[in-house]
Structure 1
């Protein structure tokens, strides 16, 4: 496949981190230029140039050597370490189709897991997750995953207490222009890291958060950033930094609430009119039920924040138009539901929910889209069809499912059973970035009979596959980026030919469908170009019904990105509900904000009772484990790539120290260990160990180290669980434990470690070296 010949206009393409113009020469990508309408282009962007042609690209279909010889009877313990044999496309497709057919006939479609959680493409058609799920549904269905690693705990919680998370808290979030115009105090639990706001699922047109925060600051809004990392808030807004011991946000919020009640600063009228259950929460808050009032002095011992500072903050919040923000990172922890619930309760006690610039938001800065105006219609997407298989697992419980087939677990009020998964099909994602306790994941990946992966690069997941199909990058295919969170529509042009023998996911699944007699159902007789025209026709129709006129596809491709007009007035979360709770009830059992939830209480979970509480994390600096591992690990999102994407690219690699992911440590902690900046250090706990390059800065509080996720897992001995990661992937250290029985979300930010200088020369980093590739005999 070669690029279309209508190259007379700039060739734009969209990514999850921005919109770019491709610069090419002799069929190669040589540079990218950001779209002129983006005021703050992401630093990630140029990293794609080197990555597209990197030696880690998968260029031909490949099969694990012993799997080619023995099929599903092959030894599984060598996954991740074995050489691969490169095959012709037809032979590889025949093999994969036969495996899918064998498993569904012998074990049923419940035995097939449609993995593919990830951010594969900003394009509306070449979205790997949609493609694989459509294919598997055509083949009889699959075991699905529920929710996301990003916000699983809060997503399970909010329908019980305030409403559907995505529908309400994300799509109807108070908009940036309301915050810029009205907010007087922005209290940010977990900060508001603009490195995270570089990205947006479905594509980015304009990066908006920085300008909004600057406008609010210029008007006089003041900011308080609460968390262990000062750099989680941009310096231009002059935020007050309250250095909080990780995992103790709920204790701080309870103490703030205690001050509001003790000093009669809470809004009794709002609580009576718009909430339910405050009278059942109040005895716990004031210590009547457990003998411990949740005072600032009590919270000071837990959080490390002086009691006077806690009381002063509560008074500031009550005296001004206050927005409470909670970063998604805060709820990715043991008992992560509690700070999310308590943030909503605290905002309700202030009585500002539904007022311009006030209330609560969960996720500001976590993605660029949150706070942007939302389109009044949904853009079309590739239809996935109906999945007849009822089995589904929380996304962060995949290792549990593989290691305990048939085992039972609790989730969101129900007891469920893990299916017996025999075949995994992964497309467009890399669980070695998202999932916790990689050594446990490696053991789990030895269990299924067959693993098939569609990938662009030889990621750790691709290396653990039995069959690998090489797929195209966004600059090697045609697509359209359109998402309701962004005002920009981009015709993504194919700028260069596919690398090697790479094909798009649609071509892969169409080939498999044909071999299974499902081609008509999967393709509906359409080529990829036909589907793009079909989806664009649907988009034009929906836009017209909402009063927007969109150009024809040819005009879109020739004219460059299209901007849609914004709404007439700022969005305010729950404005209509506040004005008339009877006419606009919430989608909760009571129709109100539930400070006490009868439904959750009825589940009987001791790790998530009927109202928000302080529950001691399984690992934290105030616990017994800190005697062995005295540093709290924050494994947050990277600034130089999207999760693990583009790690082989120039921007990510330039951020490394001695070729390894940098770990940031406070000067006092470094001095206590005799460490110097630039040292290669060993980071370890009972779950595993990795190497990292040391960065020393007071941007992190004492007792905390920060090591971003996304460095490709690079074990010293491939295929061996427990091997030292030479590259610095923090998920060899994080705990694979559900946030609670309610949400079963990941708890990555609940982890303690120790750090020491590495003795002797460090081993070479081989994360980006492809596996040994053998010719077909």
Structure 2
């Protein structure tokens, strides 16, 4: 019998690092960083008090009004009504009954399967795979298309250079080539190390900081174009170009204009590897519209000195230059343009396909980008085939719920929103990542039924009808393995499931059996059987690529293994550069498309056939700045992944009087009579929230920075337009697609005003469970 006082140490992996859990008496009491990690994430210890946090969903729950009246309940009760605890079998009976009712009455396209994939770093207990497999087993569902992270650039990339994830991300020029060859790195959107804490699927060694510093030691110079000086670590000594937010495409055009007008471009590269430069050039020079896109023109848009722009262009043309674009750049109005223009600018320099030159999109946005990619693909839980062909862009969920049957454009297609009657959400919190939460609250009052598998009482769980409690990563067995990371981790169960929590797999198995597809979903396998099946597949694929993996028993005994470095480190588009005829791109022309006939054929006024500067709907250079003179940067947080672990000790330690911190330039604060530590009201026409003030000149004047992820905490739950007491910036952002091409989120085109909050501060209630009623 185990001594309760004995300390056990158990390995596990997360999207932000690899750890050993310290367990005593069946409780998690601490975590240890992976010993070989040179730059551990600050997020890690936040899990300790989250396993048994008061906001844990302990039992299956049904919203009181839904339990009484089902689909005919008052849906405005979502977010404010109490919940009733019910036994598992009853919860599964109600949930399966609703799924069956909706698919029979309205068709499977009326079911939306929402999941964002960050629920677990483990390969088997991957929430997105589990829910999609289950829904496909019962006839399919309406899926979401692409990601909030990079929807706009993902949509434009196949038309211009090739598939975004498969090419631009997975074949990104590896850090060793940058360290050895790059002379100048120009970072549009900077390269914030806090974002590189994470990689989808797990992290062993955090490599971004050490790679940047190695490049610095080898002579690389850095330029960071961002409204935040902190988007480049101080040790890089980066030149800070504080361009007005959303003006980056204009700056890139001006750089291109100088390079072309001074004869610094590589015409031979443009002729051989690109198409459409001749169609783009009249716009660049002003021949087509009377306005040259020169440095003097851009200076007024970007609030920069024209000579500085010209000087930067000459530096770029005179050195081996890597142009990088952060994912945050394209989460703005016309977000497709900066990614496209960065590719054009790199093509004009003629260094695409050379080690340390060309372009990259996403360095620093995840730790894995720039790491050598393994030459084989790890297996995943098979999701099956979805008979429902039509999905919706991921950032258009509110529009789909509010406007069923209405037409919209997306990437060359004209289609209509489905009539969604049931939402099944697993492994995600849209009240973190979706724009205009007040609109989202209204949207989530529309479907007949909302089912959520969730660990904690997140805002999404509070707005559900049926909440099914799920285990944490520390309460189950799994394996962490991802192609961006050589470390494979045997994730061992550290503690017993808390309360009545079950694995997603067990929940879906139960629902599948009630719906008559139990064997189809499980294939007769237990979770342990699935883990062995997936590991056997991994061993086979690795062997085919001349990598040897041990047995599952040996992996568990060793706890983790590190695969050897691949023989070859990628250089983005190197094979294309070496032989463009033999290795054509997956574009219509097989070349880099500076002008896209396909996009031009879509006839979108918000995304023409070549990259262009188009004024954002909301920015400091526009008329709205008269009323709302501060540009809001709602970037990713440092103390959590998205909204995960916001109630934990690490995130809460960063708060100011319990509110999310907001960084502001002292000049702007002085003009409003604000001091460090004040709680302020941040507002515009869409909504308002409270935040605590940090004063710093690392934020340019006219800009405030308020990270996403503070759990939505309305003063009046369930009421559209209520003040968020806690500091969620998405009560302020506009829910508008980047363009008709990408339909991505445009959160970074947001203006606000700030004033000191007067009166007693309302208490934070985001981390307290909703009222729970026992059955009469």
TM range (shorter): over 0.9
- Once the two structures are superposed, what CA deviation does each residue of 1:504-530 show, in whole Å capped at 9, x if it has no partner? 100000010011111000000000010
- Once the two structures are superposed, what CA deviation does each residue of 1:168-199 show, in whole Å capped at 9, x if it has no partner? 00000000111111100000000000100000
Pairing 1:215–2:214 present? yes
1:725-764 counterparts in 2 under 5 A? 725-764=724-763
How many aligned residue pairs are there? 774
| Alpha-carbon shift at residue 117 of structure 1 (Å) | 1.8
User: 2 CA distance for matches of 1:99 and 1:714?
Assistant: 29
User: 2 CA distance for matches of 1:476 and 1:169?
Assistant: 36
Q: What is aligned with 1:253?
A: 252
| Alpha-carbon shift at residue 151 of structure 1 (Å) | 0.2
1:110-121 counterparts in 2 under 5 A? 110-121=109-120
| Alpha-carbon shift at residue 39 of structure 1 (Å) | 1.0
| Alpha-carbon shift at residue 138 of structure 1 (Å) | 0.3
Q: CA RMSD in A?
A: 1.1
> 2:431–2:711: 8 Å Cα contact kept in structure 1?
yes
User: 2 CA distance for matches of 1:444 and 1:268?
Assistant: 51
- Once the two structures are superposed, what CA deviation does each residue of 1:98-148 show, in whole Å capped at 9, x if it has no partner? 000000000000000001124100000000010000000000000000000
Q: What is aligned with 2:642?
A: 643
Q: Report the secondary structure of 1:549's partner residue.
A: coil
User: 1 CA distance for matches of 2:263 and 2:76?
Assistant: 63
1:507-526 counterparts in 2 under 5 A? 507-526=506-525
User: 1 CA distance for matches of 2:182 and 2:276?
Assistant: 28
Q: Report the secondary structure of 1:46's partner residue.
A: helix
Q: What is aligned with 1:105?
A: 104
| Alpha-carbon shift at residue 58 of structure 1 (Å) | 0.4
> 1:9–1:558: 8 Å Cα contact kept in structure 2?
no
- Once the two structures are superposed, what CA deviation does each residue of 1:706-745 show, in whole Å capped at 9, x if it has no partner? 0000000000000011000000000000010000000000
Q: What is aligned with 1:612?
A: 611
Q: Report the secondary structure of 1:585's partner residue.
A: coil
| Alpha-carbon shift at residue 8 of structure 1 (Å) | 11
Q: What is aligned with 1:486?
A: 485
Q: Report the secondary structure of 2:101's partner residue.
A: helix
Q: Report the secondary structure of 1:618's partner residue.
A: coil
| Alpha-carbon shift at residue 776 of structure 1 (Å) | 1.7
> 2:475–2:495: 8 Å Cα contact kept in structure 1?
yes
User: 2 CA distance for matches of 1:263 and 1:118?
Assistant: 48
> 2:9–2:23: 8 Å Cα contact kept in structure 1?
no
| Alpha-carbon shift at residue 602 of structure 1 (Å) | 0.2
Q: TM-score, normalised by structure 1?
A: 0.99
> 1:173–1:573: 8 Å Cα contact kept in structure 2?
yes
User: 2 CA distance for matches of 1:365 and 1:235?
Assistant: 15
User: 1 CA distance for matches of 2:600 and 2:561?
Assistant: 49
| Alpha-carbon shift at residue 568 of structure 1 (Å) | 2.2
> 1:118–1:430: 8 Å Cα contact kept in structure 2?
no
Structure 1: unaligned runs, 5 residues or longer: none
Q: What is aligned with 2:661?
A: 662
| Alpha-carbon shift at residue 570 of structure 1 (Å) | 2.7
User: 1 CA distance for matches of 2:706 and 2:50?
Assistant: 22
Structure 2: unaligned runs, 5 residues or longer: none
User: 1 CA distance for matches of 2:65 and 2:575?
Assistant: 62
Q: What is aligned with 1:17?
A: 16
Q: What is aligned with 1:709?
A: 708
Q: What is aligned with 2:418?
A: 419
Pairing 1:194–2:203 present? no
Q: What is aligned with 1:499?
A: 498
Q: What is aligned with 2:453?
A: 454
User: 2 CA distance for matches of 1:118 and 1:676?
Assistant: 40
User: 2 CA distance for matches of 1:535 and 1:9?
Assistant: 27
Pairing 1:358–2:357 present? yes
Q: Report the secondary structure of 2:322's partner residue.
A: strand
Q: What is aligned with 2:308?
A: 309
Q: What is aligned with 2:279?
A: 280
Q: What is aligned with 2:772?
A: 773
User: 1 CA distance for matches of 2:258 and 2:591?
Assistant: 24
Q: Report the secondary structure of 1:651's partner residue.
A: helix
Q: Report the secondary structure of 1:77's partner residue.
A: helix
User: 2 CA distance for matches of 1:388 and 1:295?
Assistant: 51
Q: What is aligned with 1:35?
A: 34
| Alpha-carbon shift at residue 560 of structure 1 (Å) | 1.7
| Alpha-carbon shift at residue 10 of structure 1 (Å) | 4.0
1:319-398 counterparts in 2 under 5 A? 319-398=318-397
Pairing 1:295–2:302 present? no
Q: What is aligned with 1:182?
A: 181
> 1:110–1:141: 8 Å Cα contact kept in structure 2?
yes
> 2:7–2:22: 8 Å Cα contact kept in structure 1?
no
- In structure 2, the CA distance between the partners of 1:751 and 1:305, relative to structure 1 (3 Å rule), is same
| Alpha-carbon shift at residue 9 of structure 1 (Å) | 7.9
Q: What is aligned with 2:143?
A: 144
User: 2 CA distance for matches of 1:654 and 1:499?
Assistant: 25
| Alpha-carbon shift at residue 693 of structure 1 (Å) | 0.3
User: 2 CA distance for matches of 1:10 and 1:291?
Assistant: 69
Q: TM-score, normalised by structure 2?
A: 0.99
1:223-242 counterparts in 2 under 5 A? 223-242=222-241
User: 2 CA distance for matches of 1:666 and 1:52?
Assistant: 38
Moved more, 691-700 or 564-573: 564-573
User: 1 CA distance for matches of 2:263 and 2:579?
Assistant: 25
- Once the two structures are superposed, what CA deviation does each residue of 1:202-221 show, in whole Å capped at 9, x if it has no partner? 00011010110010000110
| Alpha-carbon shift at residue 569 of structure 1 (Å) | 3.4
User: 1 CA distance for matches of 2:444 and 2:8?
Assistant: 46
> 1:10–1:560: 8 Å Cα contact kept in structure 2?
no
User: 1 CA distance for matches of 2:7 and 2:82?
Assistant: 44
- Once the two structures are superposed, what CA deviation does each residue of 1:412-452 show, in whole Å capped at 9, x if it has no partner? 00101100000000000000011000000000000000000
1:2-81 counterparts in 2 under 5 A? 10-81=9-80
User: 2 CA distance for matches of 1:614 and 1:552?
Assistant: 55
Q: What is aligned with 1:406?
A: 405
